[in-house]
Structure 1
Amino acid sequence: MNTQKSLLQSSETERFQNLYHVLNRDTVSADLLKTCYADSIMFCDPFHEIQGIDALTDYFTAMYSNVNHIDFIFTNCWHQTERSMLRWTMNFRHPRLRHGDLISVEGCSELRWENDRIVYHRDFFDAGAMLYENIPLFGWAIRKLKERM
């Protein structure tokens, strides 16, 4: 039984990783997100807290429409009962950040599963490295401050 549960979780996290490999501005939809997420999903990141699949779809639609490119490289994955933790590197290009150059941000996702669907997803990453350090002038000041520390 324990081995079966471990295999199930492996399958779930593989499905999650596959979702993020195909997710982009042209593919984002509630139907696609429902392949991994429950209707009652609670999604949190350093910028937002979102409840429900419709709100998550709206958030992803807006986020993905603003980037020229985005991909995730998953590096490690841990499981414990109905929970998973995945480490990743997100690479993206935004036309108004760092002149559209590639930005890489490391982070991790904590996932809680019920009935083969994610009911809780929390992303942990450095919001400054993702956004603030890449805004003209403001980013320069933050980078200089980090150099002095």
Structure 2
Amino acid sequence: MTAASPAPRTNRLIAAYEQLSPANLPTLLALYGEQAAFKDPFNEVQGRDAIGRIFHHMFEALHDPRFRVAHSATEGDHAFLTWAFHFQRRAGSTELCIRGATHLVFSPDGLVALHRDYWDAAEELYMKLPVLGALMRGLRRRLGTPQPGLV
């Protein structure tokens, strides 16, 4: 089998993420190799089934989760995406947004071999939670460099 050209395989993955739902999760997972590796700030797994479990849990734990890719760049077997992940902790709660980036490595067959997400859990998640957020903001103020006019 010949490898897909770089941009189309990246674009297929972007489309699958932007249309992701429990019903079409198999479409996304079909773009990953059987032994693909996945890592984010909370998970590190190997294998398509393990990656699928992460997404199943996401749909169980969050209300209306959705991805929007802002930018992408592909060079050879590597792709880099910047994205926003929107969700609610439960129906009717305030919508939250996590911004991050993904590094992808494609195998010769055009499937994803490595998926690594980069995002700041402290800034993008913990700071937005009621109790923990207040503690994090206080810590940030205490450890940060004073800004002129804000002291």
Correspondence for 1:60 among 55, 59, 64: 55
TM-score, length basis structure 1:
0.83
* Structure 1 residue identity aligned to 2:96: I
* Structure 1 residue identity aligned to 2:19: V
TM-score, length basis structure 2:
0.82
Partner of 1:106: 99
Matches within 5 A, 1:24-103: 24=21, 26-27=22-23, 29=25, 31-95=26-90, 100-103=93-96
Following superposition, the deviation at residue 135 of structure 1 comes to 2.9
Partner of 2:139: 145
Q: Over aligned residues, Cα RMSD in angstroms?
A: 2.1
Instruction: Return the alpha-carbon distance in structure 2 between the equivalents of residues 136 and 23 of structure 1.
Output: 28
- Alpha-carbon distance change, 21 to 11 in structure 1, aligned in 2, over 3 angstroms: same
The residue matched to 1:140 in structure 2 has which SS? helix
Q: How many corresponding residue pairs?
A: 140
The residue matched to 1:137 in structure 2 has which SS? helix
The C-alpha deviation readout for 1:17-64, integer Å capped at 9, x for no partner, is: 11112212x3254x3233311111100001110100111111110112
| Identical columns (%) | 25
* Structure 2 residue identity aligned to 1:35: A
Confirm whether residue 14 of structure 1 aligns to residue 18 of structure 2: no
Moved more, 133-142 or 105-114: 133-142
Instruction: Return the alpha-carbon distance in structure 2 between the equivalents of residues 50 and 88 of structure 1.
Output: 21
Instruction: Return the alpha-carbon distance in structure 1 between the equivalents of residues 28 and 71 of structure 2.
Output: 22
Q: Contact 2:79–2:103 (CA<8 Å) still a contact in 1?
A: yes
* Structure 1 residue identity aligned to 2:105: R
* Structure 2 residue identity aligned to 1:27: A
* Structure 1 residue identity aligned to 2:23: T
Partner of 1:125: 119
Structure 1 residue runs of 4 or more that deviate by more than 3 Å after TM superposition: none
Following superposition, the deviation at residue 104 of structure 1 comes to 1.4
Which sections of structure 1, spanning at least 5 residues, go unmatched? none
